[in-house]
Amino acid sequence: MNTFLRTYHRATACLRPLPNFLVLGTQKAGTTSLFHYICQHPEVFVNKSKEIHFFDRYSQFKTAWYRSHFPLLGNFLPNHRIGEATPYYLCHPHAPRCIFELLPTVKLIVILRDPVERAISHYFHEVKKGREELPLFEALQKEDERCAAEWQKMVADMSYTSREHQSFSYKQRGVYIEQLRRYWKFFSEQQMLILESSRLFTNPHVVLQQVFQFLDINQNVTVKDVTVQNANSKKKAVAPEVYTYLKDFFSPYNALLSDALGRDFGW
């Protein structure tokens, strides 16, 4: 957004609505694709950029700054939905409370992926971005060394941001039960829709009908473009020991997640 438009959006922030739905994540589970599909519904309006990061990086900013990212109220009808998607919200320690304080009635969409595949995809994403130089297995083993202290700083200070944690939290991002428990402290079951990424890509229209029903908008809309967005083409062969290591790590957390949701994800 150029300087003129940014100034205009901020000057008219009071005329812009806050969102009534958020796509929380998780990263590398299809959030870009899901958001792209949802945005094609005629009753949905969103900010132009996918990730605003208000509730994880910029929560110290005023609400007007957040409002400035959304379209003007004059463009909306009562049945319209306004949303944004920032995958780091799901993992961030303070995002649930910050979201609840500003948007207590918001609807939250979560999409999960096999945490083993998610961690590997996350790693190759960081390699592609030029932020990761360690071999895959070493990067996974050194996650605590790189991220534990950063996480504690984030927990202690909600204004603290950590590029290291966002980039290198390969395993922690896949411990979904801990992330969801933080949200369940503030939001009801009826406010959260939890999806699984493989179903989105094998049956996109079925999953989207579920999403549209959750958002209480017309379920009969057929999304035309359901091509996969933001796929990582840099993934290389992965040694079997990496899969064994990650499966052993995630196994107890996956069991807790299945028990909590009453759903077997097959991970």
Q: pTM, whole model, 2 decimals?
A: 0.93
Range 168-187 burial, b when 16+ CB lie within 10 A, else e: bbbbbbbbbbebbebbeeeb
Q: Per mean pLDDT, which range of 130-134, 150-154, 225-229, 256-260 is the poorest?
A: 225-229
| pLDDT value, residue 5 | 80
Q: 267: Cβ–Cβ under 8 A, 6 or more apart, which residues?
A: 114, 115, 116, 250, 254
Answer yes or no: is pLDDT of 233 > 60.
Answer: no
Look at the alpha carbons of 215, 216, 219, 225 in this order and tell me if their dihedral is positive or negative.
negative
Q: What are the structural domains, with CATH classification, of the chain?
A: 3-261 (3.40.50.300)
Q: How would DSSP label each residue in the chain?
A: --HHHHHHHHHTGGGSPPPSEEEEE-TTSSHHHHHHHHHTSTTEEE-SSS---TTTT-TTS-HHHHHTTS--GGG--TT-EEEEE-GGGTT-SSHHHHHHHH-TT-EEEEEE--HHHHHHHHHHHHHHTT---S-HHHHHHTHHHHHHHHHHHHHH-TT---HHHHHH-TTGGG-HHHHHHHHHTTS-GGGEEEEEHHHHHHSHHHHHHHHHHHTTS-TTPPPS-----S--TT-----HHHHHHHHHHHHHHHHHHHHHHT-----
158-210 pLDDT per residue, tens: 999 999 999 999 999 999 999 999 999 999 999 999 999 999 999 999 999 99
Query: Which has more confidence, 151 or 231?
Result: 151
- Identify the residue whose tokens are 């079951």: 189
Identify the bridge partners of residue 107 per DSSP, sorted by sequence position: 21
| pLDDT value, residue 48 | 64
16-61 pLDDT per residue, tens: 889 999 999 999 999 999 999 999 999 998 776 679 999 998 878 8
Mean pLDDT of the chain: 93
Q: 114: Cβ–Cβ under 8 A, 6 or more apart, which residues?
A: 197, 198, 265, 267
Identify the bridge partners of residue 196 per DSSP, sorted by sequence position: 112
Cα(176)–Cα(26) distance, integer angstroms:
9
Q: Which of 201, 176, 204 is nearest to 119 (CA)?
A: 176
If pLDDT is split at 50, 70 and 90, which confidence band does 234 have? low
Cα(25)–Cα(108) distance, integer angstroms:
10
| Most confidently predicted of 13-22, 97-106, 220-229 | 97-106
If pLDDT is split at 50, 70 and 90, which confidence band does 73 have? confident
Answer yes or no: is pLDDT of 132 > 70.
Answer: yes
| pLDDT value, residue 1 | 61
Answer yes or no: is pLDDT of 74 > 80.
Answer: no
Give the distance, in angstroms, between the CA of residue 172 and the centroid of all CA atoms in the same chain. 14
